[in-house]
Structures are given as structure tokens and as C-alpha cells.
Structure 1
């Protein structure tokens, strides 16, 4: 399916600001493997093929096990994820598909068992950022794999 519009060209300042946020998040103390998991899971939930394709390939290039990626949609049933990863994935789902009661005090207390306030803040920004990218991807449908050569994702061998 062809791209609908070239949003980076039409809104360069906004695009570059979102991209700059990604670069800052990549330099945060958050584990890169965890970031791959939350970006992939949010992209699954939001139905963004471009981002799902990209973050699956990035995860594989960074050493993520293929079976864990296959288990990701049912992470809560899998024993392949740590308690901290499960907490982050649950937080991702709650912030991606916000329910009628938002984030409860119980939800908040539960995530703080695994993350410092600073790391939770960074994690929440990361989830918000991937959700924004997903919305752009769903709205404008950039071609999955379209940036593989530029980003080196063709080396993942998942074509």
C-alpha cells in the first residue's frame, strides 16, 4: 500500500521534534531490550504495521530472541518475560488502550515496585512517543520496510 502523505516533509519541525525525543529516550537508563518490547507491543495493539516491522527488526538486531517476540501478544501467559518486563508491558497496554478509569492507584503502585520514579517517567514518555508514531503510521500508512536500507534493518534477515 502506498504512503498517503509525506508527513516528515509536510511537518518537518514536528517530525524532527518527535525524532529528537526518540534520540533522548535511547540515551536514557532504560534497557534497550525493554524499549524494543514496549514499542513492539504498542505497535501490535495500535495496528501499525510500519512500526511493528521496524521494532521487530531492531529487536532482533539487538539480540532479542525470536520466541519472545512470538510470545509478546500473550506475554502475560508466557514464562519468557521477567516480572519487570511484564510490569512494563502491562503499563504499556494500560497507557495505549486507556480504559474508562484511567490509571488506578493500584496500577501506579504496582509499576513502582519495578521502576524508580525517574525510570517510570522515562518509560511513560517512551510509551507516549511510540503511540504518537503509531498514530502517524496508522493515519498515513508508510510502507513497512521502507526505511530498512537507510536504518540498517535489512541486516535483520527478516525480509
Structure 2
């Protein structure tokens, strides 16, 4: 796969602002484990190899168990995820692939049972951020692993 353009070089100011937004989301107070799962699941759904590779490595560096990473794609069938994580994954999926008539009430109510209004708002921004990154990296075919050294992901030892 050959990268089409380097969007970071082409739009450095926009990249910096979007990166600052994403960094702010990381500091929102939602557990890092949930933020990692959100990024992994959205990247799986969007077919973003660059982001999936990056976030799996980040999750390992954050101490995530290997089997849970494998089970992220099958979280509904897996017994490895807590109710709060399941709610976050359901919210991620519904916002990543919006249904024709919007977010169903049952999914909203389920997520509200696990997250405060502030947390749900922050979680929504987290989903928005990863979906934005997915779209840029899929559009321009950013190669998985190409930023490992820059982001310290080579320390994950998953090569």
C-alpha cells in the first residue's frame, strides 16, 4: 500500500489543532482502558489499519491484556468486558455507523446507565476524534506502523 499524500505535511496547522483536540479528549477523565477500546473498535469498523495498529500497541503499553484485544471485535459474545466497557463499545459502534433514524433510545438508555451526562459527552468526543483520524488515514492510506518510532510505540514489542 502506497501512501497517497502526507496530510500532516500538507495541513500542519489543522493537524496540530486536531491533535490538540485529541490530546484534550485523552485527559477528559474517562478511563484509559475505555478510551483504548473505543479507538480499537472504531478503527476495526472503519478498516483503518494505521489507527488499529497504533491503538493496539498503545493499549498494550497501557497494560491491556492480549486476549481482550483479540476479543474487541467480538465484545458482545465475550465475557471479558465489564458493563461500562460494553456500554462504551455499543456507543462507539452506533456513532461510528449511524443508523438511518439516529441513535436508538435503548442504546442511549443503556449507555446512560453506565455514564454520567459529562462522561457520555466526553465519550462522544472520543468517538468523534477516532473517527476523524480513521477517515484521514484511510483516505490517504497511511501505512500501519509508520509512526511507531515517533510515538514510542516500538516499545510495545509487537513487531
Structure 2 length-normalised TM: 0.97
Counterparts of residues 27-106 of structure 1 (less than 5 Å) = 27-106=27-106
Deviation at 1:108, TM superposition (A): 1.6
Q: Quick check: 1:139 aligned with 2:139? A: yes
* Aligned twin of 1:124: 124
Structure 1 length-normalised TM: 0.97
SS in 2 for 1:23: helix
Unaligned runs of 5+ in 1: none
Asked whether the equivalents of residues 90 and 107 of structure 2 are also in contact (C-alpha less than 8 Å), the reply is no
Alignment length (residue pairs): 159
Q: 2 CA distance for matches of 1:141 and 1:23?
A: 23
Q: Which segment is superposed worse, 105-114 or 59-68?
A: 105-114
Q: Which segment is superposed worse, 50-59 or 139-148?
A: 139-148
Q: 2 CA distance for matches of 1:129 and 1:21?
A: 8
Deviation at 1:105, TM superposition (A): 2.4
Q: 1 CA distance for matches of 2:36 and 2:64?
A: 9
Q: Which segment is superposed worse, 39-48 or 139-148?
A: 139-148
Q: 2 CA distance for matches of 1:68 and 1:156?
A: 16
Q: Quick check: 1:113 aligned with 2:113? A: yes
SS in 2 for 1:150: helix
Deviation at 1:136, TM superposition (A): 0.5
Q: 2 CA distance for matches of 1:56 and 1:105?
A: 31
SS in 2 for 1:77: coil
